[in-house]
């Protein structure tokens, strides 16, 4: 599989308007050849979705997903361009998939553009520290340019894990959430886009107290 750079992905995205994940796959399938990658995107129907990229999607729905046992819940807003599409079974099916994805995989952001620069820098520092520790432990130090590419690769992989639209669908098993949105955009003729989400997990953020029955009984006796 061809080694694809971020510069190539950016160029392809600028020329086609396709999503980052789609551009990456297209380049990998086309041996990093930009022109072949553009043709790949067109053949897959993603070019049609790209034409809708600038459209205003102000309709849609807020979908609630509650996991069995009521210990985990998700609210997600997915937009389209008309209420007619919002009522369609295809759109509702996508809502269900996205809700389940958020519940199952716990993404932190919708897309990588939403990640604060400070958090990107912090994550880069963490990966750099891990690489430094590997060298201290006896691993051979890499040349600076090679180490920089490895660091970029680690950061890119992390982004695909924490950004919802770049995660591979737990339902489909092959396409990402964005690729499914693009396919739906091409099918319905309207821009489909995830806008925001909130994930709730029962007890999250609460420091649970450890019950000490003996101590409670002793305290009750001494106070009586």
What does the pLDDT read at residue 206? 73
8 A C-beta contact, residue 200 and residue 54:
no
What does the pLDDT read at residue 193? 92
pTM: 0.66
Give the start-to-end residue ranges of the domains of the chain. 1-51, 116-160
What does the pLDDT read at residue 52? 60
What does the pLDDT read at residue 48? 56
Segment 55-98, tens digit of pLDDT = 666 789 999 999 888 899 999 999 998 888 899 999 999 999 99
What does the pLDDT read at residue 69? 86
8 A C-beta contact, residue 209 and residue 130:
no
Q: Which stretches of the chain score pLDDT less than 50?
A: 210-211, 213, 224
Using DSSP, state whether 73 is helix, strand or coil: strand
198: Cβ contacts below 8 Å, ≥ 6 apart:
74, 75, 76
What does the pLDDT read at residue 222? 57
What does the pLDDT read at residue 20? 83
CA distance 63 to 199: 12
199: enclosing H helix or E strand: strand 193-201
Domain 1-51 part of CATH 1.10.8.10: yes
What does the pLDDT read at residue 110? 97
What does the pLDDT read at residue 220? 52
What does the pLDDT read at residue 38? 83
CA distance 19 to 25: 10
């Amino acid at each position: 599989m061809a080694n694809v750079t971020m510069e190539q992905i950016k160029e392809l995205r600028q020329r086609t308007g396709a999503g980052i994940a789609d551009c990456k796959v297209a380049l990998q399938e086309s041996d990093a050849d930009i022109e072949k990658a553009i043709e790949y995107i067109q053949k897959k129907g993603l070019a049609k979705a790209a034409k809708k990229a600038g459209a205003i999607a102000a309709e849609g729905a807020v979908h609630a997903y509650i996991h069995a046992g009521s210990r985990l819940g998700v609210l997600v807003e997915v937009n389209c361009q008309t209420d007619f599409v919002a009522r369609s079974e295809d759109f509702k099916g996508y809502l269900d998939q996205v809700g389940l994805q958020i519940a199952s995989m716990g993404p932190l952001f919708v897309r990588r553009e939403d990640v604060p620069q400070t958090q990107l820098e912090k994550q880069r520092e963490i990966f750099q520290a891990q690489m430094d520790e590997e060298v201290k432990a006896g691993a051979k130090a890499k040349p600076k340019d090679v180490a920089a590419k490895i660091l970029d690769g680690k950061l890119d992989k992390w982004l695909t894990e924490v950004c919802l639209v770049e995660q591979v669908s737990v339902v489909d098993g092959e396409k990402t959430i964005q690729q499914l949105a693009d396919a739906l955009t091409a099918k319905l003729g309207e821009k489909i886009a995830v806008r925001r989400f909130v994930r709730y997990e029962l007890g999250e953020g609460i420091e649970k107290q450890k019950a000490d029955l003996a101590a409670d009984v002793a305290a009750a006796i001494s106070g009586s």
